């Protein structure tokens, strides 16, 4: 083989090596670019997804806050409830969006019972009242204070209920909180009115903010 032919082959081989190397580098660069683009797209999609979730959550929270604010404002101005004179003229302020049903007016010298609840008061007959939950039950009982308190002694002893001495609007009271049954978790507040016992009850923690607000406005004549 002549020297010229060897030189030409060497030139061709060098050119092929350069060309192949360039192709390999091009393919590698292309693959890297594609991988980078896919990674960017995935990250962008993930970020946009997180932003969308956060935005939806923020809108939901704002909507909830707006509804709660509207519901609270709708309760005002509050309405005054006034009980019978012969039972100490018990009075308090309650939300105007609530309804009142007096189940027993005490005209037969029996207990006085009134139920208050948002919109419509559920049925209050003996069977239904044991199943339905009320925002507020008001009872003026022809019963001694200590005797009424003793009704909760066993549950207090078991630890299902807790008792505390409280004061609302200058009125001394005993408050009982906890599970009154397997289906009822709420609060009871007992006050002494003349020779009777005033009992306020709420049947669910949902109503506790309104329950507290009502108790702060309670008045009666001893």
**Whether residue 38 has pLDDT greater than 90:** no
% of the chain with per-residue pLDDT over 70: 81
Q: Phi, psi (5° rounding) for residue 98?
A: -95, 155
- In the chain, the number of structural domains is 2
Write down the pLDDT at residue 74.
66
Confirm whether 222 is domain-assigned. no
- Model confidence band, residue 12 (pLDDT cutoffs 50, 70, 90): low
Query: pLDDT band at 70, cuts 50/70/90?
Result: low
**Quick one: DSSP state of residue 59?**
H
Q: Which residues span the domain enclosing 185?
A: 79-215
Check whether residue 174 and residue 117 sit in a common domain. Answer: yes
User: pTM to 2 decimals?
Assistant: 0.69
- Residue 49's pLDDT band (cuts 50, 70, 90): confident
Q: Does residue 87 sit in the same domain as residue 35?
A: no
Give strand pairing partners of 219: 91
Query: Rounded CA gap, 24 and 28, in Å?
Result: 6
Q: How many residues does the chain have?
A: 222
Instruction: Choose the final residue of a domain: 55, 74, 93.
Output: 74
In sequence order, the β-bridge partners of residue 162 are 177
Give dist(CA 193, CA 167) in Å, integer. Answer: 14
Which of 74, 99, 120 corresponds to the end of one domain?
Answer: 74
């Amino acid at each position: 083989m002549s020297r010229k032919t060897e030189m030409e082959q060497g030139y061709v081989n060098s050119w092929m090596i350069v060309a192949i190397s360039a192709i390999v580098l091009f393919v590698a660069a292309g693959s890297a670019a594609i991988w980078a683009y896919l990674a960017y797209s995935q990250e962008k999609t993930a970020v946009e997804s997180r932003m969308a979730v956060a935005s939806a959550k923020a809108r939901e929270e704002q909507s909830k806050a707006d509804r709660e604010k509207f519901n609270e404002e709708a309760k005002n101005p509050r309405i005054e409830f006034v009980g019978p004179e012969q039972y100490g003229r018990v009075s308090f302020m309650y939300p105007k969006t609530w309804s009142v049903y007096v189940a027993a007016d005490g005209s037969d010298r029996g207990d006085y019972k009134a139920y208050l609840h948002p919109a419509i008061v559920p049925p209050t007959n003996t069977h239904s009242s044991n199943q339905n939950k009320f925002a507020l039950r008001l009872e003026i009982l022809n019963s001694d204070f200590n005797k009424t308190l003793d009704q909760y002694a066993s549950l207090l002893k078991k630890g299902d209920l807790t008792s505390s001495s409280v004061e609302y609007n200058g009125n001394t009271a005993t408050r009982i909180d906890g599970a009154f049954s397997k289906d009822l978790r709420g609060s009871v507040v007992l006050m002494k009115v003349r020779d009777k016992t005033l009992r306020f009850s709420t049947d669910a923690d949902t109503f506790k903010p309104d329950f507290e607000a009502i108790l702060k406005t309670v008045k009666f004549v001893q």
